Chains A and B, each alone.
Chain A
């Protein structure tokens, strides 16, 4: 149980285009989902927290107009990187909580974004 999937696992796009990443909780209802970004050899940095049906809460320094987060259902959250640039190239990981009210976060496998 407690499986989180992400799609796509990797994506390459041209500078200026938008990319959407999906995060799904497959066997539980995720009341809260988190989006992280991880640059090579660095730690996971939280970008935003999203609760189903409400606006995401962004961390300081994260542009909400550039990184659009939608948590439309209890099993799906999406992150759209708008007008992507090479500096947005990173490993994006989502996580979800909500299983029986527990604290543990269940992580997706991550999405490798490369912007040319």
Chain B
């Protein structure tokens, strides 16, 4: 089955700097890669996703890049703000109604 690895497990950045979180996956049939932000005790919140037919997607301060050949994808957050502090999860699936496999999570702390 699919295996998703995520790094780093913790990340601290100064407010205003950029943060990058990286994930690799094993299943070459995976074609849907969402990123979630989860605050303590809350549900995961989709912040951006990408499908395998594109290499990059951007939404304001958040961007995701995908390298299908290398089977890795990354989340980039620019101009970080204190409210960006949370746990971030990457995930992968084969699309449609297929199950998601989650990465292990990254605890991002923005230092004011």
Contact = CB atoms under 8 A, between A and B. Distances in A.
Interface of A: 31-32, 34, 42-46, 49, 51, 91, 93, 95, 97-98, 101, 103-105, 107-110, 112
Contacts, number: 49
B99 A46 contact: yes
B42 A43 contact: no
B93 A103 contact: yes
Contacts of A98: 97
Interface of B: 32, 34, 41-46, 49, 51, 89, 93, 95-97, 99-105
B96 A103 contact: yes
Contacts of B105: 42-43
A-B complex: 8 closest residue pairs judged by Cβ atoms: A32-B97, A107-B43, A43-B102, A44-B102, A97-B97, A103-B95, A109-B43, A103-B32
9 contacts: A43-B103, A46-B101, A91-B41, A93-B43, A98-B97, A103-B93, A107-B43, A109-B42, A109-B43
Contacts of B96: 101, 103
Given A43-B89, A103-B93, A104-B34, A49 B99 contact: yes
B46 A34 contact: no
B42 A110 contact: yes
Contacts of A104: 34, 46, 49
A93 B45 CA distance: 12
